[in-house]
Amino acid sequence: GGLGLGLALGLWRRQAAFAVARDDEEEKELRQRFMAPPVSGLRELRRRRRELRSRMELLIMETQAEMCRALADLDPGASFAIDSWERKEGGGGISCVLQDGEVFEKAGVNVSVVSGLLSEEAARQMRSRGKSLKAKDGKLPFCAMGVSSVIHPKNPHVPTMHFNYRYFEIEEADGTKQWWFGGGTDLTPTYLNEEDAIHFHKTLKEACDKHDLKLYPKYKKWCDDYFYIKHRGERRGIGGIFFDDMNSPSKEEVFQFVKSCAKAVVPCYIPIVKKHCHDSFTPEEKLWQQLRRGRYVEFNLLYDRGTKFGLLTPGSRIESILMSLPLTARWEYMHNPPESSKEAEILEVLRNPKDWVH
């Protein structure tokens, strides 16, 4: 009996040592995979690895690292400032920003994982979208996490690109939890290149089609409608996909869809940058890029829901929210491009969105 017990104890110790070594190895691998340690901590994420919140946090961390590495490969002389921050109300984030590179004037890829109580303004904004949120003593505990990126290249022949994928959870007065996903990826060129537009949209369509053939046309239209600068009568760019408040058919199925979209970000954009980052350009083309960036700023500050939510959330990090703004932009009084010019060509598409994949 004693011998059997000794063997069993020895086996148990070996298994325990093996598990610790495996955990240490996994932790080392995760550290190398990410730009910085995750907000929730590696041990906590591993402990709750089967929970969707943890899987989403791992996905946004991986998406951030994949994008940053792809951008750094194209602009080797520049480096990302990596800024981990904490929010006293709960959670924090990691901002990775590259400025004044050879290829990118400003490129930011941010992750945030925040929790706490929803502000009254933020709750009002959500109720205006049709959400019935039942607060307990005026309080609504929430958890939100996402990855968000805006890339402003130097060369006017390389488009600006934005993507964002996020998960939201709110606990109501009776303890029930409302959850939903949102996000999208869109392209804002200074000059129209049809081949690039087709590549970008086809890559996003393939990601959507893996899940449901109805998703791409629906979310393409939503993107065209959402990124609309009403006072200008034009879209911010040539679109992509956009969705919000997505909570069906099931949490797992929506998560897998979001994962496919996040994995499509590098392949839909990086080949376009590689193709054009060494194109020659004129001072007039650079001026047009600056004017188009002015439109980008107008949309983000006046209409963008994410910017508004961030500015209405107590303790939010303003620098990270406004990372989407370009380093330089321009507003000229009464600037109108000549008819039949390359500048007029992009305006036509911004006023009348096109179907790029059929």
Instruction: Indicate which residues carry an active-site annotation.
Output: 162
DSSP 358: -
Tokens of 199: 């590549």
Residue 159 CB burial class (10 angstroms; 0-12, 13-18, ≥19) = buried
Question: If we measure between CA atoms, which residue out of 185, 309, 179 comes closest to residue 255?
Answer: 179
The Cα 343–Cα 287 span in angstroms is: 11
Residues 271, 152: contact at Cβ < 8 Å? Answer: no
Angle at 316 between CA 312 and CA 319, to 5 degrees: 110
With beta carbons less than 8 A apart as the criterion, state whether 91 and 265 touch. no
Between CA 65 and CA 85 the distance in angstroms is 17
3-class state of residue 208 by DSSP = helix
Residue 350 and residue 346: Cα distance in Å, rounded? 6
Q: CA of 241: how far to CAs of 218, 221, 234, in Å?
A: 8, 8, 17
Is the Cα torsion angle 60, 256, 164, 167 positive or negative in sign?
Answer: negative
